[in-house]
Amino acid sequence: MLIFEQVRRAGLLACIASFLTACNSTGDFNFSSFGNTTPGIELPATVEPYPDAQVLSVAKQQFAARNYGHAARYYERAVEVMPNNPETWLGLAASYDRVRRYDLSDRAYTEAARLIGDRPEYYNNVGYSYLLRGDVAKAHSNFLKAHELDPDNLTINNNLEMLRYSSRRSS
């Protein structure tokens, strides 16, 4: 059991390190994990056009490649094409979160809530949004709601564990 606990902690630390690396880049992004003190990433004025049937796929690819500004623009198109698809709204909100446009992500989360407001993925994403903003209390509250709905979800459990770990380290 001790070895399992050490492996679990090592994995958790690796997860936290990758999270902090992604959110604390000091390169071109001028991006911080917590707070609103640094400017957001500029959203591109235009992006390559794609057929309506492909735009969601392209948005996901751009997000996965960490091209969050481009992802936001493609998700904007995706919500025009598929306004009742909760995945498009969650993707749009997450993209806006990553470019620190929380005013816009809040609007997208409002639309997602209208479609799937009582789902674990909704609360997990909202929790992560608050985590990026530095509001640990609201992040924790939303992660707990997600956990209540899906207690076995690895992503949600990792997010809760990450908050617990960072709380212990900061106190």
Helices (H), the chain: 2-23, 55-64, 68-81, 86-98, 102-116, 120-133, 136-149, 154-170
What's the pLDDT tens digit per position in 44-86?
Answer: 777 778 788 899 999 999 999 999 999 999 999 999 999 999 9
CA distance 132 to 129: 5
**Domains, the chain:** 2-164 (1.25.40.10)
The length of the chain in residues reads 171
What's the pLDDT tens digit per position in 14-26?
Answer: 444 444 434 433 3
Of the candidates 114, 108, 140, 112, the residue with the CA atom closest to the CA atom of residue 127: 140
Its pTM stands at 0.74
CA distance 93 to 109: 6
- Across residues 29-37, what is the average pLDDT? 38
Percent of the chain at pLDDT exceeding 70: 75
